Every structure is written in structure tokens, then in C-alpha cells.
Amino acid sequence: MTELPQPPNQPPNQPPTPSGYGHLPGPPQQGYGFPPPAENPYAQQPGYPPQPPTVSQQPVGPGGPGPGMAPKKKRTLLIAASVAAVLVLGGVGYVAFSGEDKDPKPVAQEPTDAKPSGSPTIDKGDGNGTGGGSDIPTDLNAGRKPGEDKALWLNTVKMEGPGAGIPAKGLWVVGDTVVKTVDKAVIGYGVGDGKEKWKIDLRTEICGLTGQTSPDGRTVMVVKNADGSNCNQMKLIDLKAGKEGWTKELAMEGLFKTAASTTVSLDGDTFALAWMGGQSAHRLSTGDKLFSDAGPDGCKPMTYAAGNNKMIAVALCMDADRTIEIQDADRTTGKKTWSYRLPKGYQVNAVYSVSPTVIDAGNRDTKERAILVLDEKGQKRNTLSGDGNFLVNCGGSSSSDGLQNCGKSAVDGDTVYLSAGDRSTGSEIVAFDLGTGKVKWRAKAGDKKVLAPLEAANGRLTAYRANVGVADEPGEIVSFPAGGGEPTTLLKLPSGTSARIEASFLTSQSAAYADGRFFLSVTRLAGDNKDEKLLMAFGK
């Protein structure tokens, strides 16, 4: 273990950082402040924040919400097939720096107008689908064994697009509706039968979104203007009603007046946007601007993270070392009441939780990494300490992904759950006590399996255990008690045809578990005018 250096110029409300910092080994991700790599249009697209919908900011519990309580929220995550992959964090928006190649390489372009061919096809898994010459099987439950649960339905689409493919980001479960974006549209499907309930055509490319919603199921998406030159059209989307609300143009302040993408974070009636060189916060109900660039001259917020009735900023300080500062931010004014300065050279890789505040930070030069736990006053409470290759998956290489899109983590109460492992050691989930910073327990996935958190609430962790070695072996949804011990199986996914389709999702997938149903979706379509799987549901 190595010690984290003492942060420079520590604000007066905080004691100097003591020595004895624990250290999680493994190379740090590219955090805010590092120039990122050039964007790969073929790269895996992101899942969404650690505390996404359904629609509530309240913890998930068994059964429905009580009187006066908001509906339960659920979690969406992104899972990579290789547990050894450590994905690179996307920045606020950026310029790629490279001195290696003098000649520009051709880059595939994002689709300008993907063309649908026919209507989406729904297979209910009973063998009565039309097939239509598709390679996708129609009897989803063929080969299902006794005691296994069912594949409920599979939605496929047939679209034509350019070589870069067609984006299909996002996955929300709002009441009886599961929602996906497909190209320039937002589509709601019935959770029970997969039938399309509504469709919103946004007409231009979606360039910013979040998995977070308000308690009543509203969220914000940012789309490009009519000529596609700027990501500056904010839209309120009601995922519960399937309707588009207000549309407002984002007035971009700062160094750059245009952006290819934005990050979005949302909590309560406030949402915050960040782009290359600027950021601002707005009211969800009206779209009206609340604040921008609210930090002091010395440390300017670059982006925000929100959740659980709290907002924090990641700020760049204009000192000689260009250090990074974590600040709390009032959701109406943006003003801070505390700040925590990271040591020289450290950047923020991920925000695992806003309240409690759990930050993953790393130093690119020294290859050191630490996961910090801050208290309600912004003082260091603990640093997590434990052996393992802890994966950071904040959305891949797209600049619209943000710091909260870490689908390999979950936080509940005083426990954080992180995915760890590689091909040599195997996949596992490690539970840390935020009060002590020590490992509480570890759960191994098993041979040729990966284990990834889905949601943590009310003292239990729900996780997806997937097979990556044998295509015919199905995965399962399991639940661990916060104190550790043997998991309870919530859903045993079916063998046979369903298992082979399930395995084909693992290279690029978003997943959600809500009210006894498990949903798998792709995050990008090939757009080759052939039937492609989009969204699959499992249940009892």
C-alpha cells in the first residue's frame, strides 16, 4: 500500500490529510483534467448512473411504496464481457491530443438519418413469432430446464445506417414501461409484453442524457440543433406519460460556444449540464437557468454529480499545479459550503455516490489510485483499502458519459460494492465498510462467470451473475445480504435458446432489474438492414 500525498492548500475547514492512506492498486483511469483519447465511434456506449430509475429518489424495498412515498427506483448498469477490461473515463467534452500520427486517419461518421425497415418485431417466447427469414429464433424458451424462469419477450429492429452504427443508449424502467432510445427516437414498451406503448421522435441526434429521473418519471435529454452543428437543445421528456415537454436552447458560456455532446446529472428539480469549457444548472420543471460557473475564481467547476438530494462539483483550480477540488454545491445557487482538494497530479475517475460522497481518484504519472470517502462536511472520513483489480466503468470513450456512469458499483448505507477481478483471478464483488475503509466480504462469481452489481438498497445487494465461457449456460439474478453470506437466487434465467441470446448481449449491454423482471438491451445497433436484437425481458 502507498500513501496518498497530503493535498496542497487544504481549505481551513479541513484538517491536513493524515498519512496512512490506503491504496487500491491498478492503473488510474483518465479523469477530469487529463486530455482523453480520440473518440472511437465503434466503442461500447455507456450504461447510466449508479442510482437510476425507475423514478424514485427513495431506496428500493420489497413490495410497492407505501402511502405518500415515491415509487421505487431501480438501477441500470453497463456490463462488459471481459472482466479484465478497464474502460477509459469520458470527460466533460474535449480535444484529443496525439503526437504519434502525423497523417489524419479516416473516421466513420455518426448516422445522419438512420432508416427503419419495417416495424419492430416482438417475440413472446412461445414459438409463435413470424420469423420472417431472420436468424433470430422465435421460440425463446426452447431448451428451458425445470426450475428455470422464463424469457418473457424479445424485441428486434431492422434499420439501415452508416458504418458507425446506430446509437441505442439508455434504459429506464418507469412503472409498467421500459424505455429505450433508438437513433433519434425515445420509445416506451410494456414491461409485460414488450409492445410499443408510445414513441417520441426527437428529429435530431441525442447528444446528452442521464439514467436519472425525477420522482414522477421526468428526465432531460439534449439533442443537436437542426443542422447538427451544436448540442444545445434541452428537452424535458416525461417517461411515464410518453410525452415531450418544454424545449429550450442552452446558452453556452465559456471558452467554447458549441459542443458535440454534454453530460447530464439530475436530482429533484435541478439538472446540471457540462460541456467542453462550460457548465450550467437549470430547473427541471421549466428549463430556466439557475446558475453557471458559480465557483470562486481560483477553482472553477467543470462538471457536477447529483443524487440523493445532494449535488457536488468537480472543479479545476487555477494554481501552479492545476489541482482538482471536490465541492458541495447548493442545488439552487451552486454555492459551496465545503471543499476537498486532491493532491497534486490526482484526477477524479468516478463518483460512486454523491451522498454519502465516495470518489475514485488516480494519478496518471505515479499509477497510484485511491477511493475516498468524505463526510457531510467534506472532510476525509476514510480511504478504501483492499487487494484487487477494481474496475472503473464510467461510460467508455464518449464525452457525454459523465462521472456517475459506473455500472460496476453500488452504494447503500455504509457499504460500497465494487466489481473486481480479471481473467487470471476471476470476477468477484467486494463489499467495503465506509466507516472503516476495510473489506467486509468478497463474493466470487465462479469459473468463467462475471458478477456485477445491479442495485443496493435496504441492506441487500442485487447482482447479475453471467456466464462468459459457455454460450449455452444461462445467468442468474442473485441477492446478497449486506453482511455477506450465501446469495438468494431471484431469477434463474433459462437455458437453451434464451441462454444463447443472453450471451450475445454481453459485449455491449445495459441491464436493469425491476419488480421481478430483468431487462437486457444493446447500446448500439449495427444498422445493416438485418434483424437485430434490441431489448429482452425475463421473469417468472
Question: How far, in Å, CA of 443 to CA of 439, rounded?
Answer: 11
Per-residue model confidence (pLDDT) at position 497:
96
Q: Enumerate residues 6+ apart whose C-beta is below 8 A from 110.
A: 41, 162, 164, 167, 205
Q: How confident is the model at residue 99 (pLDDT cuts 50, 70, 90)?
A: very low
Q: Which helix (H) or strand (E) holds 497?
A: helix 497-504
In the DSSP assignment, the letter for residue 29 is P
Distances (CA, A) of 126 to 138, 173, 362: 7, 24, 50
The residue assigned the cell 445467468 is: 475
SS3 58: coil
Distances (CA, A) of 160 to 156, 205, 226, 356: 13, 16, 21, 45
pLDDT of 52 > 90? The answer is no
Question: How far, in Å, CA of 271 to CA of 290, rounded?
Answer: 9
8 Å CB contact between 484 and 443 = yes
Question: How far, in Å, CA of 100 to CA of 476, rounded?
Answer: 45
Encode pLDDT of 208-223 as tens digits: 999 999 999 999 999 9
* Mean pLDDT for the stretch of residues 320-346: 95
Per-residue model confidence (pLDDT) at position 469:
78
Residues of the chain by 3-state class (helix, strand, coil), percent to 5: 0, 40, 55
- Comparing 462 with 72, which gets the higher pLDDT? 462
Per-residue model confidence (pLDDT) at position 400:
60
8 Å CB contact between 275 and 258 = no
β-pair type (380-383, 369-374): antiparallel
Closest Cα partner for 501 from 77, 41, 166, 129? 129
8 Å CB contact between 501 and 482 = no
Question: How far, in Å, CA of 490 to CA of 538, rounded?
Answer: 11
* Mean pLDDT for the stretch of residues 472-478: 95
- The full length of the chain comes to 540
Q: How confident is the model at residue 190 (pLDDT cuts 50, 70, 90)?
A: very high
Per-residue model confidence (pLDDT) at position 7:
58
Lowest mean per-residue pLDDT among 46-55, 428-437, 505-514: 46-55
- Comparing 299 with 293, which gets the higher pLDDT? 299
8 Å CB contact between 46 and 401 = yes
* Mean pLDDT for the stretch of residues 377-402: 76
Closest Cα partner for 453 from 408, 503, 513, 416? 408
Mean pLDDT of the chain: 79
Sign of CA dihedral 91, 94, 97, 103: positive
Our CA dihedral for 171, 429, 357, 518, rounded to 10 degrees, sits at 20
The residue assigned the cell 428539480 is: 269
Question: How far, in Å, CA of 22 to CA of 367, rounded?
Answer: 14
Lowest mean per-residue pLDDT among 33-47, 102-116, 454-468: 33-47
Give Rg (Cα) of the chain. Answer: 22
pLDDT of 133 > 60? The answer is no
* Mean pLDDT for the stretch of residues 473-489: 96
Per-residue model confidence (pLDDT) at position 405:
77
Per-residue model confidence (pLDDT) at position 428:
94
Per-residue model confidence (pLDDT) at position 253:
82
Lowest mean per-residue pLDDT among 129-133, 190-194, 246-250, 324-328: 129-133
Question: How far, in Å, CA of 338 to CA of 378, rounded?
Answer: 6
Question: How far, in Å, CA of 428 to CA of 390, rounded?
Answer: 10
Q: How confident is the model at residue 379 (pLDDT cuts 50, 70, 90)?
A: very high
Buried-state track 111-120, b at ≥16 Cβ within 10 A, e below 16: beebebeeeb
Closest Cα partner for 260 from 222, 316, 234, 293? 222
Q: Map 210-226 to HEC letters.
A: CCCCCCCCEEEEEEECC
Per-residue model confidence (pLDDT) at position 46:
34
Q: How confident is the model at residue 353 (pLDDT cuts 50, 70, 90)?
A: very high
Q: How confident is the model at residue 50 (pLDDT cuts 50, 70, 90)?
A: very low
Per-residue model confidence (pLDDT) at position 118:
44
pLDDT of 71 > 60? The answer is no
8 Å CB contact between 397 and 36 = yes
Question: How far, in Å, CA of 343 to CA of 268, rounded?
Answer: 32
Per-residue model confidence (pLDDT) at position 173:
98
Distances (CA, A) of 363 to 29, 249, 367, 451, 510: 9, 37, 5, 27, 29
Encode pLDDT of 240-254 as tens digits: 999 999 999 999 987
pLDDT of 402 > 60? The answer is yes
- Angle (CA) 32-37-39 rounded to 5° is 105
Per-residue model confidence (pLDDT) at position 391:
74
Per-residue model confidence (pLDDT) at position 389:
84
Lowest mean per-residue pLDDT among 394-403, 471-480, 498-507: 394-403
pLDDT of 435 > 60? The answer is yes
Phi-psi region of 102 (alpha: psi -120 to 50; beta: other; left: phi over 0): alpha
Question: How far, in Å, CA of 156 to CA of 176, rounded?
Answer: 20
Encode pLDDT of 75-95 as tens digits: 444 443 332 232 222 222 222
pLDDT of 101 > 70? The answer is no
Per-residue model confidence (pLDDT) at position 387:
86
In the chain, the amino acid numbered 360 is D
